[in-house]
Structure 1
Amino acid sequence: MKLQGLVIAAYGRHYLAELPGGEILECVPRGKKSDVACGDTVEIERTSASQAVIDSIAPRSTLLYRSDAYKQKIIAANVTQIIVVVATEPSFNDELLARCLIAAHDQSIETLIVLNKCDLPQIEAARAQLAPYGKIGYRVLELSAKQDVAPLLPYLQGHTSVLVGQSGMGKSTLINALIPDALAATREISTVLDSGKHTTTHARLYHLNANSRMIDCPGVQLFGLHHLDFAAIERSFPEFLPYLGQCRFANCSHSHEPDCAIRKATEEGKIDLRRLKLFQQITAH
């Protein structure tokens, strides 16, 4: 008999699917190829009391993934909001943040930037780094996960949110504070490397309440956008939109061509210079 389940964990080619009544089965895909994601609704067939085979994946509303020239890595399916977690310490990567926001824009997923560890002295530097994002309409929420996560709760209601960010930003601490029984592992930050040690090896979905879910996934250091063309990336920079189509050349790269409307707007202070440089870095790859 075919059953419908929600994929709540992805461990390589092994998955946990939750049935409507709450029962959880360990699942494997039928066949060698596997493109199942945490958050997928799947049709499964039970093979034993605790195991099943995945027969098919229901149509997805969204699919968040990263890619390079050789392969793609699925992050989560059917999410309505991406929460990019950055922190005052260790320092966060501006380009990684921009790439996450581009991927979200491509799938029409709502975005929220959470600045964690706001109790640390580096808060002003982190605020300055994020200032250009607030100016162009991105929501930025400051909190300290170890002290109080209550400010985040209203943003989670009614959403299937996915938490992404570099290792060490405090995603696991956030999960533990929001869902005390999640037992998400946390580790000490490696101050020598200025990056966190990987603590989550798989994507995991948690139920916050009847209509709100959260997916935690492994810390990412790279977020490839090989699946997006130049125009898609260009449109993902909201501050560029008023100037698109105004450059002298239709195929302007906004890097060196004469009469570039984007560079002119940057010189006039209408576009943040750091954001333009991020765009040039991302599209040059």
Structure 2
Amino acid sequence: MSQTVRGRVVSAHGSHFYVELESGQIRHCFPKGRRNEAAVGDWVSVQLQGDQEGQLVAIEPRRNLLYRSDEWRTKQFAANVDQVLLVVAVKPTFADDLLGRALAGAWAADVEPVIVLNKIDIHDGLDQARERLKPYKDLGVTILEVSALDSSTVEQQIRPLLTHKTTLLLGQSAMGKSTLLNALIPAAQANTQEHSVALDAGKHTTTTTKLYHLPESSGDLIDSPGVQAFGLAHLSLEDIERGFPEFARHKEHCRFYNCTHRREPNCGVLDALARGEIDPRRHALYERLLEEKASAKT
């Protein structure tokens, strides 16, 4: 009878995975049956096959799972993470909507978000980028400013946050995520690629999600492909509201216990919005997420 051992998924490639066993060996594993539900960061049981392969027979209960979904598909990012580093840049222009969705997804999963503003060596647009991030700073989100090309600054500002934690690295294409990964883990040698100035956008340089062990640290860093969309159709109405923590103290003043904070009278959230205590862009995103949730059900 084949031996069954414990391991952690360190990379996902569609229908197959690489699992690092507790012995340190990496095994090429395939799921049992057709269902493919494992994510990078999952702790799993593997039935050994031969010298290098295995069958993934069980997934241990997760602390959390970060993923995106819309009415067509679901894309997993990672499981069992302590925090997510959301990488944005001075250039090319980052999408406020995408950043807001990623933050909402992290908060809904009880994962601590940290925003990394990269490419601060580009002075043209730096003040504007800082201004666009101010609403998140006001919410208490940690915002770090770095140039990924300056490895010493990356070491000083980011590495201390990663020790003893599993961190997901997430962001749009061309934000410099791969360069940041290389600064933190030189052995990763992630591919980097200049973005197209003409299109003000970038191409994907990371194609698979992969877990790396930080050198001289007990932390892990999970790198994921650049994202251009971040659907949250899988979130419940309660999850969506949890993704907007600035609502919490105001909703206590809502007249109705099941208030949706959209059109109801005597809504504490809407009153705070009118007083300028809630950023209108954040509330507009909240409304879009509710509309998408309603559309997904029809």
> Smaller-chain TM-score range?
over 0.9
Q: Percent identical across equivalent pairs? A: 45
1:185-264 to 2 correspondences below 5 Å: 185-208=191-214, 209-264=216-271
Q: Distance in 1 between matches of 2:224 and 2:217?
A: 21
SS in 1 for 2:231: coil
Aligned to 1:271: 278
The C-alpha deviation readout for 1:219-251, integer Å capped at 9, x for no partner, is 111111111122321232121111114334555
Structure 1 window deviating more from structure 2 (236-245 vs 132-141): it is 236-245
Aligned amino acid, residue 172 of structure 1: S
Secondary structure at the aligned position of 1:224 is classed as: coil
Instruction: Output aligned runs, 1:100-111, within 5 Å.
Output: 100-111=102-113
Work out the CA distance in 2 between the residues paired with 1:55 and 1:278: 40
Shift of 1:175: 0.6
Q: Note the residue ranges of structure 1 that are not aligned, 5 or more in a row.
A: none
Aligned to 2:197, what secondary structure does the other structure show?
coil
Contact 1:11 1:201 in 2 (8 A): no
Matches within 5 A, 1:131-210: 131-147=134-150, 148-150=153-155, 151-208=157-214, 209-210=216-217
Distance between the aligned counterparts of 2:34 and 2:186, measured in 1? 36
CA offset digits 1:60-114 (Å, max 9, x no partner): 1111111123442211011111111111111111111111111111221111111
Q: Secondary structure at the match of 2:158?
A: helix
- CA drift at 1:252: 4.3
Q: Which moved more, 1:110-119 or 1:242-251?
A: 242-251
| TM-score, reference length from structure 1 | 0.94
What amino acid maps onto 1:30 in structure 2? K
Aligned residues: 285
Structure 1 residue 253: deviation in Å? 4.0
1:33 has 2:35 as partner = yes
| More deviation, 16-25/173-182 | 16-25
Asked whether the 8 Å contact 2:251–2:267 carries over to 1, the reply is no
Deviates more, 1:9-18 or 1:263-272: 263-272
Tell me by how many angstroms 1:26 deviates.
Answer: 1.1
Q: Name the TM-score, length of structure 2 as normaliser.
A: 0.90
Determine the C-alpha separation between the residues in 1 that align with 2:239 and 2:79: 20
Comparing 260-269 with 77-86, greater Cα deviation is found at 260-269
